[in-house]
Amino acid sequence: MALELLYAPHCDLSTSDNAVIGDSQKLPNKTSVTRNGAQTTASRRPNHRAAGVSNKLDVDVAALSFDGNDGLDLSAQVALGSSPYTLICAWVGGNYTSDTWLFTSNTNTAHYGIAAGGAGVLLEPNSSRSPGGDEDTIATNNTDNSTVSYTFGSDVEALIIVNENDDNVNFYNIDGDLIATKDEPLYDSNFPLDFIMHNGAGSRGLNGLLLTAKVFSNNAVTASEARAIGVSIKNFKNED
């Protein structure tokens, strides 16, 4: 297991409120690998929000604000595939008017995200046999492919995506509940991760406050581990 990417704006208490991130000041990767989040296009840069910006968050929790057109490009690609991997994203104040791509590849428009309306998840595998248009939308507001019915809201949320490298992908929410699962050919395709919180072109991005994003290679978290991850993310909440 390797922690390839850890972006943690929630614990950045030194950056000034509304500071632009992605130009001279990058979003630092909190692992040993230099893989910072940058953005060369000024209009696509998110803003740091100091602790206290949201009454849904604990007073000591900061965030990174994205408007749906912002996004960050990784300074070094994360090459995922040929073994299991796990993607984790946590945010607050989400607006799901449009599709939201959280993790995106520069190849074959491969991505994972949330469907418009917040009642489904998105997956497009990286394969030349899966061109644009072959995106899978898996409904989460029923139990056809899950153990619970779930719709993402505006409170602190998390999506834990587990690709088991056997064409099976599981999606867990902040409670550690399995909200979607699907097994299809090509789901285990290599996933070279290049962008977070947008499609690489400044659209279909997160409209909300990013708290943390993590990427593990060679690791498929279990249901019990997903619950533990969700508990840790719930600590960001304002419980008053």
Torsion region of 165: left, alpha or beta (phi above 0 gives left; psi -120 to 50 gives alpha): left
Q: Does a structural domain hold residue 8?
A: yes
Dihedral sign for Cα 49, 54, 60, 62, please.
negative
Predicted pLDDT of residue 1? 67
Q: CA geometry: angle at 34 spanning 164 and 102, to 5°?
A: 45
Predicted pLDDT of residue 134? 79
Residue by residue, pLDDT tens for the chain (240 residues) are 699 999 999 999 999 999 999 999 999 999 989 999 999 999 999 999 999 999 999 999 999 999 999 999 999 999 998 899 999 999 999 999 999 999 999 998 899 999 999 999 999 988 766 544 478 999 999 999 899 999 999 999 999 999 999 989 999 999 999 999 988 888 888 999 999 999 999 999 999 999 999 999 999 999 999 999 999 999 999 987
Amino acid symbol at 49? R
For residue 52, the domain's CATH number is 2.60.120.200
Mention every residue, 6+ apart, whose C-beta is less than 8 A from residue 159: 87, 88, 89, 102, 114, 121, 152, 171, 172, 173
Q: Does a structural domain hold residue 239?
A: no
Q: Does a structural domain hold residue 136?
A: yes
Predicted pLDDT of residue 133? 46
Predicted pLDDT of residue 131? 44
Predicted pLDDT of residue 189? 82
Q: Does a structural domain hold residue 28?
A: yes
Q: Does a structural domain hold residue 124?
A: yes
Predicted pLDDT of residue 129? 61
Predicted pLDDT of residue 186? 82
Question: How much is the pTM?
Answer: 0.96
Q: With contact defined as beta carbons under 8 Å apart, do 156 and 234 qualify?
A: yes
Task: Return contacts of 237-240, CB within 8 angstroms, 24+ apart.
Answer: 237/56, 237/57, 237/58, 237/155, 237/156, 238/54, 238/55, 238/56, 238/57, 238/58, 238/59, 239/58
Structural domains in the chain (count): 1
Q: Does a structural domain hold residue 240?
A: no
- Domain containing residue 143: 2-234
